[in-house]
Chains A and B, each alone.
Chain A
Amino acid sequence: MMRSLFLAAAMSGMVACLGCVPAPPHQATPAAGSFDPRNLQGLWVISNRSQRGYRDENLQPLKDYLTPAAAKTRAAIDVALDPSARCMTMFPRQMGWPYPLQIVQTPAVTLVLFEADQVFRQIHTDGRSWPDTDEQRWMGYSIGHWEGDTLVVQTSKFNPAAWLEADGTPISENTMITERFRLTDAGRTLENLMKIEDPVVFTRPVYRKYVYNLRNDWHLMEYFCAEGNRDNVFDQKEGQAGSLKLSKPAARE
């Protein structure tokens, strides 16, 4: 708890440095009937009530949604070359990992701090539009606004080197992912209804539901995938990933 408080304080301090309004104090888990439906702050853990992954919310296989081009890409992929095997993180996969995430809110930006690989999302809620840049991101660029008690977040500007799923389902630069975050169960459950639109990859929108349980009795732990990763393919395959293989150790000196 101390660590998460410290982390929250550090991050809100960082935001203050950027000229934003300081974060409200960290909230304890609210009692029933007294929660603020717009306060999403807390430590959240993915629930098995979620509907995500290789099937959509109607349990239809994702591969049935693929455009011919995307199906071809997926079929040609060697799943051992999953970027996550070299510890890359990417959205939206990161949202379903079995490690908690902490939400820290300020009026101008909502931060999602992920335990897994200690990465974060910035959801800009200051009314800005998409940046005029060709920057591509593994986690995407996110802007959000409130519709009633629902935080609506749009994320795009993806790096097409990322994968949407571990089976090689691709993601394209202009994929638009819309999330609708809403508290339920007296503030103890966070629902995230996700819509994935990508005319390059999918023939129709894909809908998912992520459900999170509030666990403010936990704190974010440290997690660095590179620490003990035996799945790294750099040293297992010639060619693509193997191009980084150290064939001449002396060259590093």
Chain B
Amino acid sequence: MFLRRRKLCDAKNPFKALRGKPVNICSGRRVLLLVPVLVAALAFAVQGRAHHSFSMFDREHPVTISGTIREFQWVNPHTWVQILVPTPGKGKPVEWSIEGRSPNVLARRGWKRTELKPGDKVKLTIYPLLDGSPGGAIVRVIFADGRELNADTPTAVDTNEEGPRK
């Protein structure tokens, strides 16, 4: 079990070291993708991350990325969108790991398990990781036909003050 989880972590870890240079985000904002060595990335992962904490995201500066869905992981405690983002100066698209609220929270907001399918071309508005690596927290999905799906902000409390209380 640990083996499997570890493999998952290694393959999709948003703190994975990059060989990147500055890339263009389609909003036009340039994000410096630093080049942390793996050890440094892991050190950050240990020091900067607390379970269910969103402190590692830049909530002041949301950006929009554009790409092709590789995988939508509909799992607790958090959903993950793995999206391949064409990046100027890079030979192949860069894979971003976008963390979202739990399936339970999203389902109660009207999302479906099959909302995002591999191959779908979408724009994602995200709060990017502060360390510049290709990851973030999802804010909303903008589909090719212009439809938008709100993922809510990761800091809001799910209270349903506004919902029906039958």
B-binding residues in A (CB < 8 A): 29, 45-49, 78-80, 82, 84-85, 87, 98-99, 115, 166, 188, 213-218, 221, 223-225, 227-237, 244-246, 249, 252
Contact = CB atoms under 8 A, between A and B. Distances in A.
Contacts of A249: 3
B161 interface: yes
Contacts of A47: 159-161
Contacts of B12: 230
B153 interface: no
A210 B159 CA distance: 12
Contacts of A98: 105, 157-159
A217 B46 contact: no
A82 B3 CA distance: 21
A227 B159 contact: no
Interface string B108-143: 100000000000000000000000000000000000
B94 interface: no
B19 interface: no
Contacts of A230: 8-9, 12-13, 78, 80
B30 interface: no
B43 to A, nearest CB: 9
B49 to A, nearest CB: 6
A227 B75 contact: yes
B104 A231 contact: no
A228 B45 contact: no
A218 B2 CA distance: 34
B161 A228 contact: no
A45 B158 CA distance: 8
Nearest to A53: B157
Contact of A80 (B5, B46, B73): B46
B46 A227 contact: no
B147 interface: no
B91 interface: no
B65 to A, nearest CB: 20
B51 interface: yes
Q: Is the interface of A mostly helix, strand, loop or mixed?
A: loop
Contacts of B42: 236
Given A99-B104, A235-B6, A249-B3, A80 B49 contact: yes
Interface of B: 2-3, 5-6, 8-9, 12-13, 42, 45-53, 73, 75-80, 102-105, 107-108, 157-161, 163-166
B47 A45 contact: no
A115 to B, nearest CB: 7
Contacts of A232: 5, 9
13 contacts: A29-B165, A46-B158, A46-B159, A49-B159, A80-B48, A84-B52, A98-B158, A166-B51, A223-B102, A227-B75, A228-B77, A234-B2, A246-B2
Contacts of B164: 217
Given A45-B158, A246-B2, A115 B75 contact: no
Nearest to A244: B2
B52 to A, nearest CB: 7
A82 B6 CA distance: 19
B159 A115 contact: no
Contacts of A188: 165
B53 A115 contact: no
Given A85-B51, A213-B159, A218-B108, 9 more contacts: A115-B104, A166-B53, A215-B165, A217-B164, A221-B107, A223-B76, A230-B78, A231-B50, A237-B46
- 10 A-B pairs with least C-beta separation: A228-B75, A85-B51, A98-B158, A48-B159, A79-B50, A84-B51, A231-B51, A235-B6, A217-B166, A48-B157
Given A223-B102, A225-B77, A228-B73, A215 B5 contact: no
Given A98-B158, A221-B104, A221-B107, A228 B76 contact: yes
Nearest to B10: A235
